[in-house]
Structure 1
C-alpha cells in the first residue's frame, strides 16, 4: 500500500503553528507533496519536514510559492524547472541547494516561470512511480468580466487572466512530455497539487453563482477536460467518489464558508490509468485535532500499488 498526500500548506511556518508537524508524524503517509511552502531555506522551522527526506524548490520570489516532496526513502531522481533544489535527509540541517539533473526540456513559455518554485518531481526509490508537486497560478478575470467595486483586487484589464492562460497552454505541453518521459523510464506518473481550478459542478459548492469566477471559468474547466482521458491522466478522487459533492479541499477564511462546507475542490491527484485504478481510498482531512492546517486541506489517497 502506498499512501500519498498533497497539501497547499499556505506557509510552512503558519502550518507548524496549526499542528502540521503532528499531522505529519501521525498520518502514516509514504509521500507528502506540499505547495506554497513560502519560506527561504534559512527561515524553515526546526524539524520542518519531520522524519522524511525532503526535496524542496523554494523558488526566488520572496514569501511566495515553493514546492516540496517528502518521501520515506531518498528519491532515486529529482527534476525541477530551475537549476537548484534542497535535498535533505531526516536529521540533516544543511541549507545549501544542489544542482538537479536535467529533466524534460521545458516547453515553450515555461522558462519565464522556472525560478518561481512552482513544480518539482521525484522518482520514488521504493515504487515505480514519479510523483510531482505543482502550484498553478491563481490568475484573474478576463477584462470583460471585471467590475470595479465588485472585486477584491483592482481591475487590471485581464493581465492576470491572460498570464494564467498562457501558463496553462505551456504547462499542457510540458505535462504531456513529462508523462511520456516517466513511461519511458518504466514508471507511473502522478501529478498532485493546487491547480487553482475546479472542474465540474460537483467541485464548487455554489457553482451557479461562480460560473464567472476565476478558477471556474468555462475555458479553465475545458483545460482540465483536455488533460484527462482513460489513456492519459485520471482524476483519482473523482474516480473514487464519482457522484459526491466535493470532497472540497479549499474554504475561504472569511465568513462561515468553512462551517457551511461552502468550499471548492481545487487540489488534485491526477494519475496515469494503471496507478489510478489501484486507488482504494481517497480522503480530505478537513482538520487535524480540530485545527485547520491551512485554508486548504490535505488530500490523502491510498494506492494498492507495488512498493
Structure 2
C-alpha cells in the first residue's frame, strides 16, 4: 500500500527516513516541485540517480542543511549519483575500485553512525541494456 502524504509526514521520533529517487535530471525534477516532495517526506538521507548536472547546480538547487556526496559523470548531461544527508557521514567512497566508476557518475556510498552502529547507504545507477553489449559483457 502506498502511504498517504499524512502518513508520510508522521515519522516516529528517533526514526531514520531514507529515500531513493531516480530524478532523470535534477533541474527537471526541481521544475516539477522536487523541493516540495523532499520537504513533505521529512527525509534524513536521500539517494539520487541520474542527477545529470554539475556539482554546483546540485548544491544550488538542494540548498542549505544538507551534506552532499555527488559523483558527476565525466560525460556532460549523463548519469550522476548523490547521497544527501542531514547529518555528516563518518566515511564516504566515490567508486568501487574499477577506474570506470571513478568518472562514470554511477556509484557513491556513505557510512553513517546510527544508534552506535555503522549504516552504509549506496546510491548506484546501473546500466540498462542488452546482454552482450560492450558495457554489459
What TM-score bracket applies, with the shorter chain setting the length?
Answer: 0.7 to 0.9
Say whether residues 1:43 and 2:31 are aligned partners: no
Shift of 1:57: 1.1
Q: Which residue of 1 aligns with 2:24?
A: 10
Residue of structure 2 aligned with 1:78, choices 77, 89, 92 = 92
Q: Which residue of 2 aligns with 1:138?
A: 128
Larger Rg belongs to: 1
Q: 1:51 to 1:22 in 2, by over 3 A?
A: farther
Name the SS of the counterpart of 1:26 in structure 2: helix
Shift of 1:34: 0.4
Name the SS of the counterpart of 1:56 in structure 2: strand
What is the distance in 1 between the residues matched to 2:63 and 2:128? 26
Residue of structure 2 aligned with 1:54, choices 63, 68, 79 = 68
Q: Which residue of 2 aligns with 1:295?
A: none
Q: 1:72 to 1:44 in 2, by over 3 A?
A: closer
Question: Could you tell me whether the CA contact under 8 Å between 2:92 and 2:110 is conserved in 1?
Answer: yes
Shift of 1:20: 0.5
Q: Which runs of 5+ in 1 are unaligned?
A: 82-103, 143-157, 167-307
Question: Could you tell me whether the CA contact under 8 Å between 2:94 and 2:108 is conserved in 1?
Answer: yes
How many corresponding residue pairs? Answer: 121
What are the residue-to-residue correspondences of 1:20-39 with 2, within 5 Å? 20-39=34-53
Name the SS of the counterpart of 1:46 in structure 2: helix
What is the distance in 2 between the residues matched to 1:45 and 1:76? 20
What is the distance in 1 between the residues matched to 2:65 and 2:26? 16
What is the distance in 1 between the residues matched to 2:73 and 2:81? 8
Q: Which residue of 1 aligns with 2:119?
A: 129
Q: Which runs of 5+ in 2 are unaligned?
A: 1-14
CA root-mean-square deviation: 2.0
Say whether residues 1:120 and 2:108 are aligned partners: yes
Shift of 1:52: 1.9
- What are the superposed Cα offsets for residues 105-134 of structure 1, whole Å, 9 maximum, x if unpaired? x2xxx3234210100000114452011110
TM-score by length of 2: 0.78
Q: Which has the larger share of strand?
A: 2
What is the distance in 2 between the residues matched to 1:24 and 1:139? 30
Q: 1:113 to 1:55 in 2, by over 3 A?
A: closer
Question: Could you tell me whether the CA contact under 8 Å between 1:119 and 1:135 is conserved in 2?
Answer: yes
What are the residue-to-residue correspondences of 1:1-307 with 2, within 5 Å? 1-44=15-58, 46-49=60-63, 51-81=65-95, 106=97, 110-127=98-115, 128-140=118-130, 142=131, 158-159=132-133, 162-164=134-136, 166=137
What is the distance in 2 between the residues matched to 1:120 and 1:49? 20
What is the distance in 2 between the residues matched to 1:112 and 1:29? 31
